Amino acid sequence: MSGFGGFVLRRGVGAVITLFAISVIIYVVFYATPGNVAQITCGPRCSPEQVHQVAQQLRLDDPLYLRYWHFLEGILVGQDYSTGTAVQHCSAPCLGLSYQSDQQVTELILAKLPVSLSLVLGAMVLWLVLGVGTGMLSAWRRGRLSERVLTGITLAGTATPVFVIGLVLMIVVCGELHLLPFPQYVAFTDDPEQWAWNLLLPWLSLALIEAATFARLTRASMLETLAEDHIRTFRAYGVGERSVIGRHALRGALAPVIALNANNFGSAVGGAVLTETLFGLPGIGQELVHAVAVVDLPVVVGMVLVIGFFVVIANAVADLMYAVADRRVVLA
Partner 1 sequence: MSDSPVTAPLVQVADLTVEFGGLRAVDGLSFELAEGGALGLVGESGSGKSTVASALLGLHRDTGARVGGSVLVAGTDVGRASDEELRRLRGAKAAMVFQDPLSSLDPYYAIGDQIAEVYRVHTRASRRAARARAVEVLDRVGIPDAARRSRSRPHEFSGGMRQRALIAMALACEPDLLIADEPTTALDVTVQAQILDLLHTLRQETGMGLLLVTHDVGVAAESVDEVLVMRDGKAVEHGSVATVLGAPGEEYTRDLLSAVPRVDVSRVSPAAPSEEVVIEAVGLRREFGRGRGRFAAVDDVSLTVRRGETLGVVGESGSGKTTLGRMLVGLLEPTAGEVRYEGGVRSGVGPAVQMVFQDPVSSLNPRRSVGESIADPLRARGERDERHIRHRVGELLARVGLDAEHYDRYPHEFSGGQRQRVGIARALAADPRVIVCDEPVSALDVTTQAQVVALLGELQRELGLALVFVAHDLAVVRQVSDRVAVMRGGRIVEYGPADEVYGAPQDPYTRQLLAAVPALDPVVAARRRSARKELTSA
Partner 2 sequence: MSEALVASQAPGTDTSVPGASGAHSFWRRLRAQRAALVAAVVVALLVLVALVAPLLTALEGQDPTTYHPSLIDSARGGVPVGSFGGMSAHHWLGVEPQTGRDLFARLVYGARVSLGVALAATVVQVVIGITIGVASALGSRWVDQLLSRVTDIIVAMPLMIMSLALLAIVPSSFPRPVLVTLVIGLIAWGNIAKIVRAQTLTLKGLDYVSAARLSGWGTWRIARRELLPGLAAPVITYAALLVPINISVEAALSFLGVGVKPPTPSWGQMLTAADVWYQAAPQYLLFPAGALFVTVLALTVLGDGVRTALDPRAASRLRVGAGRRRGAGSGPGKGADA
Residues near partner 1, by CB under 8 A? 228-230, 232-240, 243, 247-248, 251-252, 325-328, 331
Q: Does 158 help bind partner 2 (rule: CB under 8 A)?
A: yes
CA-CA distance, 281 to 120, in Å (whole number)?
A: 12
Respond yes or no on whether the N-terminal peptide bond of residue 114 is cis (omega within 30° of 0): no
Q: Is 294 helix (H, G, I), strand (E, B) or coil?
A: coil
Binding mask 226-255 for partner 2 (x = CB under 8 A): -x----------------------------
The angle subtended at Cα 266 by Cα 262 and Cα 268, nearest 5°, is 95
292 binds, among partner 1, partner 2, none (CB under 5 to 8 A by kind): partner 2
Q: Which helix (H) or strand (E) holds 87?
A: strand 87-90
Q: Which residue lies nearer to partner 1 by CB, 43 or 326?
A: 326
Q: Is 22 helix (H, G, I), strand (E, B) or coil?
A: helix
78 binds, among partner 2, partner 1, none (CB under 5 to 8 A by kind): none
Q: Does 221 help bind partner 2 (rule: CB under 8 A)?
A: yes
Subset of 16-75 contacting partner 2 (CB under 8 A): 17-18, 21-22, 25-26, 29-30, 33, 35, 40
Q: Does 300 help bind partner 2 (rule: CB under 8 A)?
A: yes
- Do 96 and 74 contact (CB within 8 A), yes or no? yes
313 binds, among partner 1, partner 2, none (CB under 5 to 8 A by kind): none
Binding residue for partner 2, selected from 75, 111, 180, 292, defined by CB under 8 A: 292
Q: Which residues of 22-31 are buried (b: 16+ CB within 10 A; e: fewer)?
A: bbeebbeebb
Minimum CB separation from partner 1 for residue 327, in Å? 7
Q: Which residues of 159-195 are buried (b: 16+ CB within 10 A; e: fewer)?
A: eeebeebbeebbeebbeeeeeeeebebbebeeeeeeb
Subset of 182-211 contacting partner 2 (CB under 8 A): 209-210
227 binds, among partner 1, partner 2, none (CB under 5 to 8 A by kind): partner 2
Burial class (CB in 10 A: 0-12, 13-18, 19+), 243: exposed
- Do 19 and 312 contact (CB within 8 A), yes or no? yes
Helix axes 250-279, 105-140, angle to 10 degrees: 130
Q: Which residue lies nearer to partner 2 by CB, 106 or 116?
A: 116
CA-CA distance, 86 to 276, in Å (whole number)?
A: 35
Minimum CB separation from partner 2 for residue 45, in Å? 15
Q: Does 163 help bind partner 2 (rule: CB under 8 A)?
A: yes
Q: Which residue lies nearer to partner 1 by CB, 59 or 232?
A: 232
Q: Which residue lies nearer to partner 1 by CB, 49 or 229?
A: 229
DSSP state, 97?
A: B
Query: Which residues are paired to 87 by β-bridges?
Result: 82
Q: Which residue lies nearer to partner 2 by CB, 109 or 307?
A: 307
Q: Which residue lies nearer to partner 1 by CB, 219 or 248?
A: 248
Q: Does 165 help bind partner 2 (rule: CB under 8 A)?
A: yes
